[in-house]
C-alpha cells in the first residue's frame, strides 16, 4: 500500500482546558495531520464556532517552532492551500457532539511527493494542542480529542522540504488607522493570510486596504488595494464553503456561527417531526441571524467564502514550488494594513504566513 492512515492520538477526554503534548513517533514522511475535536453540548445556547476551542496548535522540534496557529487560522490555510472546504458537522443541539476537524498540510495537497514533514530530519518532533471547550459549541459539558496522520508507506519519496505555517503578527485595530508590519524574510512565501474572525463583521469592514512593499517601497508587489477587490478574486478562484448545521432557532433573533466570513447565506428546513418556516439574514463575519415561525430545531446549510474571515494576499501560483515568492534577497518586507471604520476593535487582526522550508 502506497499510503496509510496512522493514529497519533487515540480519542481521549479533554474536558479540562489544557495543553496536550504528543510525541510524533512515526518514521515515515507525513503529508497531513488531522485534529478531530468533539465537544458534547450541555444545552442549545450557542457560544461560538467549535474552532474557537483550539486556541493554539504547534508542531515543534525541541524548542524550534515549525508550525503555530489557532484552530481558525490553520483551517483557513488548509482551504486556501488545497481548495477543499473544512470538514464539519456543526450540531448545536443538547447532548449532541459538535464535530470539528482541523487539518495541517505539510505539502501542496494530500500526498504531495515533493513536500512533506520528514520525521527523520528532526530529533524530537512533538505536536502541542491547547484547547478550551468553554469557548465554542453549545456550553459543552465534555470534549474529546483525536489526531491522525496521513503517511507515505510503501511509496518511497524524498521530500525537498515542507510548508511551515505560523501566526506572524496580531494586533487590535483602530478605526481607519494604519498598521505597519515587518515580515520575516528567511524563507520563500507560498501564502500570506490577513484579517481573521470578528463576530458579524465582514473582512473588508475590518481592513479596508492592504499594501505589500519591498525594501521601503523600492518595489511594491501589492500596491494599495481595497480588500473588497481581493475578495472578488477569491470568489472567482476558490470554491464556496458549505456548513452542515443543526441548531435550535427561536422566534426572536438567533445567532448561529458559520465558517464563511464573506457573503454568507443560509437555507433551512425543519429537523425531525416539527414543521415550521425559518428565515435568515445578515450572513457576515462568520455569523448568521435566524428567525423561526415556531421555536424548533432546524437543519441548515450555510455557505459563503473566506473561512473564519481570512483573506489571501495573492503572491504566486500556490501549486508551483518554483513560483513561490522568494524574499531571501530583501532587507525589508512590509505589510501596510489600513483599518476600516468598523474594524471590530475587540477582536485581533492576524497575519498568517506559510513559507517553504527546504531540508
What is the rounded end-to-end Cα distance, in angstroms, of the chain?
26
Q: 272 lies in a domain?
A: no
Contact 203, 232 (CB under 8 A): no
Per the structure, the count of domains in the chain is 1
337 lies in some domain: yes
Share of residues in the chain with pLDDT > 70 (%):
99
- Residue 80, judged by CB atoms within 10 A of its CB (0-12, 13-18, 19+), counts as buried
**pLDDT tier for residue 340 given thresholds of 50, 70 and 90:** very high
Average pLDDT over residues 121-132: 97
Which domain does 76 fall in, by range? 3-239+307-358
d(CA 193, CA 216): 21
The cell numbers describing 322, all together, are: 518554483
Q: Is 51 domain-assigned?
A: yes
| Tens-place pLDDT, residues 159-186 | 999 999 999 999 999 999 999 999 999 9
Proportion of the chain above pLDDT 90, given as a percent: 90
The pLDDT-based confidence of 322 (bands split at 50, 70, 90) is very high
Give CA–CA dist 294/272, Å, rounded.
14
In the predicted model, is pLDDT for residue 114 greater than 90?
Answer: yes
93 phi and psi angles, rounded to 5 deg: -75, 155
**What does the block give as the cell for 274?**
416539527
CATH number of the domain residue 99 falls in:
2.70.9.10
Q: What's the pLDDT score for residue 33? A: 98
pLDDT at 142 over 90: yes
Judge contact between 178 and 171, C-beta under 8 A. Answer: no
Cα–Cα nearest to 76, from 234, 249, 246: 234
Kindly give, in sequence order, each residue whose CB lies less than 8 Å from that of residue 178, ignoring residues fewer than 6 positions away.
336, 337, 338, 339
Reported as a single tens digit per residue, the pLDDT across 38-57 is 999 999 999 999 999 999 99
Tens digit of each residue's pLDDT (9 = 90 or more) over 184-238 = 999 999 999 999 988 889 999 999 999 999 999 999 999 999 999 999 999 999 9
Distance in angstroms (rounded) separating the CA atoms of residues 314 and 80: 11
Lowest mean pLDDT among 87-91, 212-216, 254-258, 303-307: 87-91
Determine, yes or no, domain membership for 299: no
**What's the 3-state SS for 181-245?**
EECCCCCCEEEEEEECCCCCCCHHHHEEEEEEEECCCCEEEEEEEEHHHHHHHHHHHCCCEEEEE
pLDDT surpasses 70 at 273: no
The pLDDT tens digits for 282-307 are 778 899 999 998 888 999 999 999 99
Give mean pLDDT, residues 120-129.
96
Residue 259 within any structural domain of the chain: no
293 in any annotated domain: no
Q: Is 300 inside any structural domain?
A: no
CA distance 305 to 308: 9
* Domain presence at residue 158: yes
d(CA 146, CA 12): 7
DSSP state letter for 29: P
Amino acid at each position: 500500500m502506497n499510503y496509510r492512515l496512522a493514529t497519533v492520538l487515540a480519542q481521549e477526554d479533554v474536558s479540562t482546558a489544557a495543553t496536550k503534548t504528543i510525541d510524533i513517533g512515526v518514521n515515515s514522511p507525513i503529508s497531513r495531520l488531522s485534529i478531530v475535536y468533539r465537544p458534547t453540548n450541555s444545552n442549545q445556547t450557542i457560544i461560538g464556532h467549535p474552532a474557537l476551542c483550539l486556541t493554539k496548535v504547534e508542531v515543534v522540534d525541541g524548542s524550534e517552532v515549525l508550525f503555530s496557529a489557532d484552530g481558525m487560522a490553520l483551517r483557513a490555510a488548509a482551504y486556501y492551500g488545497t481548495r477543499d472546504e473544512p470538514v464539519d458537522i456543526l450540531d448545536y443541539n443538547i447532548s449532541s457532539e459538535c464535530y470539528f476537524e482541523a487539518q495541517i498540510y505539510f505539502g501542496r495537497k494530500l500526498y504531495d511527493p515533493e513536500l512533506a514533514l520528514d520525521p527523520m530530519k528532526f530529533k524530537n518532533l512533538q505536536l502541542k494542542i491547547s484547547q478550551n471547550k468553554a469557548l465554542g459549541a453549545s456550553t459543552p459539558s465534555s470534549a474529546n480529542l483525536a489526531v491522525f496522520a496521513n503517511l507515505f508507506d510503501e511509496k518511497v519519496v524524498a521530500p525537498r522540504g515542507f510548508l511551515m505555517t505560523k501566526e506572524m503578527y496580531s494586533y487590535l485595530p483602530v478605526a481607519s488607522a494604519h498598521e505597519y508590519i515587518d515580515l520575516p524574510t528567511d524563507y520563500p512565501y507560498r501564502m500570506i493570510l490577513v484579517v481573521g474572525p470578528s463576530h458579524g463583521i465582514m473582512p473588508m469592514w475590518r481592513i479596508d486596504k492592504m499594501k505589500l512593499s519591498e525594501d521601503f517601497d523600492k518595489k511594491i508587489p501589492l500596491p494599495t488595494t481595497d480588500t473588497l477587490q481581493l475578495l472578488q478574486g477569491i470568489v472567482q478562484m476558490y470554491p464556496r464553503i458549505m456548513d452542515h448545521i443543526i441548531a435550535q432557532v427561536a422566534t426572536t433573533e438567533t445567532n448561529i456561527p458559520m465558517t464563511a466570513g464573506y457573503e454568507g447565506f443560509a437555507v433551512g428546513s425543519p429537523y425531525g417531526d416539527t414543521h415550521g418556516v425559518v428565515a435568515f439574514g445578515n450572513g457576515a463575519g462568520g455569523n448568521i441571524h435566524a428567525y423561526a415561525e415556531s421555536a424548533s430545531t432546524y437543519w441548515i446549510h450555510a455557505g459563503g467564502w473566506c473561512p473564519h474571515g481570512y483573506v489571501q494576499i495573492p503572491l504566486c501560483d500556490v501549486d508551483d514550488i518554483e513560483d513561490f515568492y522568494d524574499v531571501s534577497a530583501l532587507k525589508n518586507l512590509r505589510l501596510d494594513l489600513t483599518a476600516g471604520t468598523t474594524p471590530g476593535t475587540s477582536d485581533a487582526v492576524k497575519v498568517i504566513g506559510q513559507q517553504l522550508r527546504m531540508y
